[in-house]
């Protein structure tokens, strides 16, 4: 004895061997065949209701039965009339997976048995006796007898199939072998045809079959062939100018043929830009050029004379522009001299450098060199953060030195321009800034020759202010920000007196 679930599993196993698929299926995998059976939830529901004696709820077993019957031989498919014991008393067809009813022992199809269990009366269709809601008995020996019965193909006779064999082989023949069996296209194009026409359908008719373009080897669906040919770069096409009736060229070479080779392509005369408006085919253009050579020369001469007049006019304008440019160059040169007369010196890492100066190490810092103009005086500023001379230990001292320059021979000596030092306030509010300034006007006397005279060494002695800014004042405002100070050195030299 086995329970209902066991019979369901047995039915599934037999279905894998014998039960054909529905018409919309295209292969014989076990997975698709098993989809015809009720799901696990349905089987569990039948089993529980059967064991408890309750009335099972409908579970769609009719669907499973019709799906199986569609690919199972009927009594009309038998070669010889079937004995009554092989016919199901409920569906009046050849028994499918026969099981015995308890307690009477009559046999019905397993799908019919499930329907009887789900019915409200639960009575045997043969003797109308009450059925026991117990698991069905596996009738393997009897099912083997049914499988051995001789049947013919459903397409026997007028259809042309000559197959005959046991029930056990019927489904395999019907699903996999019979040339007259209907099947759906494996490419899901929707076509339905007999198996013997499958090759023809796939090779000539199926719109979803992938085909290869005979010209460019591109692969696409057959239904897209027309669209592809409208764009295929290798499709042979005739010349649109009909220069040669036998000539065909790939689409991607046709434009080059028309632009370069085709004798019937319409061309413009090469003198069109000069006034010749003649147009003709490429093969006739040589004749036009030969016959119109005098006119072309006249056109060229006329154009040359017009260009000469234009060039003369442009020459006059260029001369005028040249005078304006010279005036502007002089002005730019003067402005350039003035623009170089100052330096803004950024001194970073102020705290460390101030400590080193107080310790007597690296007491003097030197700025980058700068000039008063492009060809002016060359200068260099220096600063003593801890002071020098009278300002040592209390003030920041600033100085400037005149350096030897490349244009000293052209400059006026001694150097006598006012120099202004400015410690810039870095307050966020511009109106609140209060810069520290110190200005010195050199005295060009003989005693100051080492400071202001034309440098004989690399640089002259420095001059400036020893008491430029007190340390307390520097720290009282925003002169130091992000550990950086800015020192501006400006020379009151307009640059106009310099070369």
Which CATH number goes with the domain that contains 368?
Answer: 2.60.210.10
Nearest to 177 by CA among 28, 337, 29, 326: 28
197 part of a folded domain: no
Q: Are 99 and 141 in contact (CB under 8 A)?
A: no
**Number of domains composing the chain:** 3
404 part of a folded domain: yes
394 part of a folded domain: yes
Q: 359 with 327, same domain?
A: no
61 part of a folded domain: no
Q: 90 with 143, same domain?
A: yes
Dist CA 225 CA 161 (whole Å): 37
pLDDT at 218 over 50: yes
pLDDT given at position 58: 32
Q: 348 with 460, same domain?
A: yes
Last residue of a domain, one of 316, 337, 358: 337
- Max avg pLDDT among 30-44, 238-252, 421-435: 421-435
Q: pLDDT, tens digit, for every residue of 388-413?
A: 999 999 999 999 999 999 999 999 99
Q: 405 with 325, same domain?
A: no
pLDDT given at position 335: 63
50 part of a folded domain: no
Last residue of a domain, one of 121, 151, 177: 177
237 part of a folded domain: no
Confidence label for 498 from pLDDT (cuts 50, 70 and 90): low
CATH classification at residue 108: 3.30.40.10
Confidence label for 421 from pLDDT (cuts 50, 70 and 90): very high
Q: Which domain holds residue 142?
A: 84-177
Confidence label for 334 from pLDDT (cuts 50, 70 and 90): low
Last residue of a domain, one of 304, 337, 370: 337
Q: 100 with 135, same domain?
A: yes
Q: pLDDT, tens digit, for every residue of 167-190?
A: 888 888 877 788 887 778 888 888
475 part of a folded domain: yes
* Strand 164-166 versus strand 219-221 pairing type: unpaired
Q: Are 424 and 486 in contact (CB under 8 A)?
A: yes
Q: What is the DSSP string of 27-58?
A: S--HHHHHTTS--HHHHHHHHHHHHHT--PPP
254 part of a folded domain: no
Q: 333 with 391, same domain?
A: no
Question: For a pLDDT cut of 70, what percent of the chain falls above it?
Answer: 83
- Max avg pLDDT among 122-126, 152-156, 273-277: 122-126
Q: What is the DSSP string of 378-441?
A: EEEEEEETT--GGGTTTEEEEEEEEEP-TTGGGS-SS----EEEEE----SSGGG---EEEEE-
Q: 488 with 383, same domain?
A: yes
Q: 424 with 324, same domain?
A: no
């Amino acid at each position: 004895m086995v329970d209902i679930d066991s019979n369901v599993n047995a039915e599934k196993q037999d279905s894998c061997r014998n039960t054909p698929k529905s018409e919309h299926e295209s292969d014989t995998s076990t997975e698709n065949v098993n989809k015809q059976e009720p799901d696990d939830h349905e089987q569990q529901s039948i089993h529980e209701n059967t064991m408890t004696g309750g009335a099972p709820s409908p579970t769609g077993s009719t669907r499973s039965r019709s799906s199986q019957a569609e690919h199972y031989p009927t009594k009309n498919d038998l070669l010889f009339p079937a004995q009554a014991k092989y016919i199901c008393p409920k569906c009046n067809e050849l028994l499918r997976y026969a099981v015995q009813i308890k307690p009477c022992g009559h046999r019905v199809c397993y799908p019919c048995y499930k329907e009887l269990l789900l019915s409200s009366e639960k009575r045997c269709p043969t003797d109308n006796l009450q059925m026991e809601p117990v698991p069905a008995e596996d009738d393997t020996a009897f099912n083997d007898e049914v499988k051995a019965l001789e049947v013919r193909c459903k397409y026997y006779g007028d259809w042309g199939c000559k197959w005959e064999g046991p029930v056990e082989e019927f489904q395999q023949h019907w699903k996999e072998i019979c040339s007259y069996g209907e099947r759906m296209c494996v490419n899901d194009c929707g076509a339905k045809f007999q198996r013997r026409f499958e090759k023809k359908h796939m090779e000539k008719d199926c719109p979803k079959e992938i085909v290869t373009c005979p010209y460019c080897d591109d692969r696409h669906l057959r239904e897209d062939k027309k669209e592809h040919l409208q764009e295929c770069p290798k499709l042979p096409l005739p010349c649109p100018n009909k220069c040669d009736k036998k000539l065909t060229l790939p689409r991607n070479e046709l434009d080059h043929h028309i632009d370069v080779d085709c004798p019937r392509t319409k061309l413009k005369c090469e003198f069109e830009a000069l006034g010749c408006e003649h147009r003709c085919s490429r093969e006739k253009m040589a004749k036009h050029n030969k016959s119109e050579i005098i006119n072309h020369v006249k056109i060229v001469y006329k154009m040359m004379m017009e260009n000469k007049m234009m060039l003369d006019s442009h020459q006059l304008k260029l001369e005028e522009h040249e005078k304006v440019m010279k005036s502007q160059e002089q002005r730019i040169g003067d402005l350039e001299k003035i623009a170089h007369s100052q330096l803004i010196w950024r001194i970073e890492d102020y705290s460390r450098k101030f400590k080193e100066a107080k310790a007597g190490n690296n007491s003097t810092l030197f700025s980058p060199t700068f000039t008063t103009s492009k060809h002016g005086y060359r200068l260099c500023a220096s600063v003593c953060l801890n002071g020098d001379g009278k300002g040592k230990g209390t003030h920041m001292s600033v100085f400037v030195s005149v350096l030897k320059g490349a244009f000293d021979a052209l400059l006026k000596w001694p150097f006598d321009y006012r120099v202004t030092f400015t410690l810039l306030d870095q307050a966020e509010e511009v109106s609140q800034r209060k810069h520290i300034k110190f200005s010195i006007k050199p005295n060009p006397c003989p005693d100051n020759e080492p400071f202001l005279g034309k440098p004989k060494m690399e640089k002259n002695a420095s001059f400036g202010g020893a008491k430029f800014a007190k340390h307390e004042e520097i720290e009282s405002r925003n002169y130091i920000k992000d550990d950086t100070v800015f020192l501006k050195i400006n020379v009151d030299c307009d640059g106009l007196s310099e070369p």
